[in-house]
Amino acid sequence: MTLIAPAQRDALQNWLSHIKSLDDAAQNTLDAYTRDLTSFLSFLTQHFGETSGISALKAVGQRDIRSWMAFERGSGVSARSLARKLSAVKSFYRWFGEHEGFEPTAVLSARTPKFQKKLPRPIAPDAARAMIDTVPLQSEKNWVGLRDTAVVTVLYGCGLRISEALGLLGSDAPLPDVLRILGKGGKERIVPVIPAAKRAVDEYIRACPHPIEADSPLFRGIRGGALNPRIIQGVVAKARMQLGLPATATPHALRHSFATHLLEAGGDLRSIQELLGHASLSTTQAYTAVDTARLMEVYDKAHPKA
């Protein structure tokens, strides 16, 4: 059982309420913060040998932070995961320092563990087209196959996150030439809609047995409710196995493929950043590494080393 002082638990809940109301954080983000901070606060209880509440939080020094990080690494936590946990702790302490009127320098100055960033794993253009063609074969119901095709086409053709695609409403149909998408952190972006995505959605709507009302989800489940993202993840998993594609060929990989294929076709990096809704250009620049890695792979095959 996790043992945390009531005052610390209250501070955690107040912080979560703060970021939920001001930053409009997604529930998944809040859940991750809760897990990370609960783990950290539990460690402090064991580390200090008592549940001394707020005073223990203020007393945390660099040595304590290093002890916590060593404990996490010793428990099998990867450098990437520890970096995420430390980021959550720092975010909490920024708020906590302002709230309690002290400077949490020891925590904020802790160095983030170095780790090798994972590059996006896109699939080739012909594989993306094959995926779109194979997805509808996973369902016995024609309208469900057309629905799944429409979702996958929107993911690849518009570069949307699966949550963004499934967040579309009936009022968004028929799809216009451009969509206004509300992404992470409430950041709005304009996304062009390719003709293939328009056609796929139109065909799905004509076949859908459930009425598509303006304020209801555009993509429906079998019983008419909002479509669960796990359904699309499962359909894509079946299709990739039929096609012999790697496990990295997921719905999110279609978004990566959208960006990579645009870049390969000569797309401007800044424009691609805007289309994807990345807050930082450095996030989008990961695709240049993908492009370079692919170029070097081709080079190595053409010029094998002796």
Asked if residues 138 and 145 have their Cβ atoms less than 8 Å apart, the reply is: yes
Strand, helix or coil at 190?
A: strand
Q: Which of 184, 199, 238, 294 is catalytic?
A: 184
Catalytic residue among 198, 255, 256, 261: 255
287 part of the active site: yes
Q: Which of 46-50, 106-110, 131-135 has the lowest mean pLDDT?
A: 46-50
Concerning whether 161 is annotated as a catalytic residue, the answer is yes
- Note the pLDDT of residue 192: 81
Question: Among candidates 102, 105, 76, which has minimal Cα distance to 90?
Answer: 105
Active-site position among 73, 80, 94, 252: 252
CATH number of domain containing 98: 1.10.150.130
Give the model's pLDDT for residue 48: 79
Query: Are residues 262 and 294 both part of a single domain?
Result: yes
Q: For residue 281, what pLDDT band results from cuts at 50, 70 and 90?
A: very low
In a domain? residue 116: no
Of 82, 108, 134, the residue at which a domain comes to its end is 108
Note the pTM of the prediction, 2 decimals: 0.56
Catalytic residue list contains 301:
no
Q: Which of 214, 239, 223, 269 is nearest to 155 (CA)?
A: 239
Domain count along the chain: 2
CA nearest neighbour of 202 among 153, 136, 252, 164 = 153
Domain that residue 17 falls in:
6-108
Query: pLDDT grade, residue 29 (50/70/90)?
Result: confident
Catalytic residue status for 58: no
Is 99 noted as a catalytic residue in this protein? no
Question: Has 294 been annotated as catalytic?
Answer: no
Residue whose tokens read 């998944």: 28
CA-to-CA distance for 260 and 264, rounded, in angstroms?
6
Q: Phi then psi for 144, rounded to 5 degrees?
A: -70, -40
Catalytic site residue from 85, 161, 220, 256: 161
What CATH code is carried by the domain that includes residue 262? 1.10.443.10
Separation of first and last alpha carbons in the chain: 60
Considering the domain architecture, whether residues 134 and 236 belong to the same structural domain is answered as: yes
CA distance to 24, 27, 83, 182, 268, per residue, from 185 (Å): 6, 12, 20, 8, 24
Contacts 24+ apart (CB under 8 A), 180-189: 181/277, 183/277, 184/26, 184/277, 184/279, 185/23, 185/24, 185/279, 186/24, 187/277, 187/279, 189/274, 189/275, 189/276, 189/277
